[in-house]
Structure 1
């Protein structure tokens, strides 16, 4: 049974809960991550969430989201989910937004997460797992970001908020600085990937 790490307001771990039951109308604050895969040309891979998912079905979003298991290194969790959802072999994730947090609701189901954001590099083509991903699209970051910010591209609420923060890092996603890990929530288990 997949579990998520429950968080206090200061980002420290206060327990675990089964992922299958944690998301509802009053979802407790928990630990997650988001990742954006970029190829060597600076394009990003977007995914459309599977239509049968409990939370935010059918929504277009960033490349991959997920939850580190209790005691799991968060960077390893990013790699695991990219492999499981998209079949992609990737470089070591690079931390971009260590303290990103959001709350969003759709059809009475709430997401409530401290959700560090990572950049991942690969030229691999995705091979979507239909249990997780309906479809994918590779787009130029500059066009994607502009369309999200001016409202012409529909995207998940968390990705819209993340894009607004990511564009502050500069126009070229391959040149964005790696963030200080000290900004991560206290509950994050993290060590550099070898």
Structure 2
């Protein structure tokens, strides 16, 4: 089995190396590249997931559809498609850059730190069938936009979800989110 690597970043969001994903997540997790994806159905519902209880970082929290780490040299769209397939068995249609500059730092209850440059994308679902990978996803449900907004106030929502929603909510309903383009993506992440 191959080791999944994360892309380490400097303050200018340039790649400065790669490291083992599992070994890198601890109390002093280095700044690295990630992404978040919100899968939206044609009727505007959003696929919301609960992280597997066995996950090392932030187990059991409710969050967007999919999160992941692009591998060294992997483009954002390819990484999103890979993780959607691996975590949820979902095929994405159109992928749009929504919050290309998003970054955050959060500390879990056990002291594990997430410190990520984490562009946010919207993927329009090619279908609504979900085949969740139980090692990654505890639950996956299609929610209305209002239910997504209400999740912000729930203590079981992920810290990055709450921060992302503060920026996504003013953009309106998910199908109306404007394309933010790719110019603001980190230099380490090809589209």
Residue 152 of structure 1, CA deviation: 4.2
TM-score by length of 1: 0.93
2:129 pairs, out of 125, 128, 135, with 125
Deviation at 1:124, TM superposition (A): 2.1
Structure 1 unaligned spans of 5+: none
Contact 1:50/1:58 (<8 A) preserved? yes
CA distance in 1, matches of 2:107, 2:180: 28
Q: Which runs of 5+ in 2 are unaligned?
A: none
Partner of 2:86: 84
Cα RMSD for the two superposed structures: 1.1
Normalising by the residue count of structure 2, what TM-score does the alignment of the two structures yield?
0.94
Tell me what 1:15 maps to: 17
Distance 1:29 1:157 in 2: 16
How do 1:124-163 and structure 2 match up within 5 A? Answer: 124-145=128-149, 147-149=150-152, 151-152=153-154, 154-163=156-165
Partner residue in 2 for 1:188: 189
**Per-residue deviation, 1:176:** 1.3
Contact 1:75–1:92 under 8 Å retained in 2: no
Report the number of matched residues: 187
After TM superposition, list the pairs within 5 Å mapping 1:99-110 onto structure 2: 99-106=101-108, 107-110=110-113
Distance 1:153 1:144, change over 3 A: farther
